Amino acid sequence: MRVVIALGGNALLKRGEPMTAETQRHNIRIAAEAMAPVAKEHELVISHGNGPQVGLLALQGAAYKPDEAYPLDVLGAETEGMIGYMIEQEMGNLLPFEVPFATLLTMVEVDPEDPGFKNPTKFVGPVYEKPDADRIAKEKGWVFKADGPKWRRVVPSPQPKRIFEIRPIKWLIEHNTVVICAGGGGIPTMYERGASRKLVGVEAVIDKDLCSELLARELEADLFIMATDAPGVYIDFGKPEAKVIRQSTPAAIGKYSFPAGSMGPKVDAACHFATATGKTAAIGALADIPAIVQGKKGTQISKRFDGITFHS
């Protein structure tokens, strides 16, 4: 079975933790322990978030003059290499020596007319108190929005259109390689207008879940998993009657609404994959990945199910 796992930001850096290499490595080691059993039995492709890491690099770059700072597409490429390296190393420490790994810098095409450029929504970097956010916004020209009680930088998040490296990714999978790719939603690129059709980088961050769904669809994955810090998709989250969906059709779960900044994009991506492929998408806790693959935990979404059921 071919499995695509999209690691949420919690797999790399939990809210409130220091953004150090050792903290990230510790969290990736936990993620590797959950994914290694899957790699032993199935073809595995891994994608991941990079919001905190891109934000940190952007802050470091802000110490330079404006024309010396690296743009977001370059920072995205940097984080793909850094995080991929750690995943490869921690997974390699758990799997047989002969299992090959490959991290691919993955360019993803976006539309220059995408409405996401006019309304920045993608959170990157650390959280701030309102006075600090206002000061940085004035100094750097960055845009901030509320993220719970704190404030956080937001950048454009256009829709992914095409993954350029899909052919080498397929080749590697066919040669039994564990592939890490499309990190942070991939490196955003677009073609300049004109006859030359020159490919250039874009000052944006593509949503990781939407890009991972496109990746899973183009790879004809049998199962698409989005790993997060929750055991599944909650109905009435935060209320005494809250319950976790066990199985659902896209139509049944589509009758509910979910927060745009957290579970909403994951549910949308899962429903799109399930509808387009007729296969199963799942959302659940990182530690539960082996059980999610077996269909025992998490929220499973497929057209093959009958309505909606809940975990007891």
Catalogue the active-site residues: 9-10, 122, 208, 266
17 Cβ partners below 8 Å, 6+ apart? 23, 27
Give 294: exposed, middle or buried? Use CB within 10 Å, 0-12, 13-18, 19+. Answer: exposed
Tokens of 227: 């790993």
Q: How far apart are CA 151 and CA 160, in angstroms?
A: 26
Report the amino acid identity of residue 222: D
Q: Identify whether the C-beta of residue 275 lies closer than 8 Å to the C-beta of residue 268.
A: no
Q: What is the DSSP letter of 297?
A: S
For strands 122-128 and 187-191, give the pairing: unpaired
Q: Which residues pair with 107 in a beta bridge?
A: 187
Bridge pairing between strands 280-285 and 299-301: antiparallel
* Amino acid sitting at position 260: A
Looking only at Cα atoms, what is the longest distance across the chain?
60
Report the Cα–Cα distance between both ends of the chain, in Å, rounded.
28
User: Can you tell me which residue has the tokens 């745009």?
Assistant: 260
Amino acid at the residue 249: T
Check if the beta carbon of residue 194 is closer than 8 Å to that of residue 260.
no
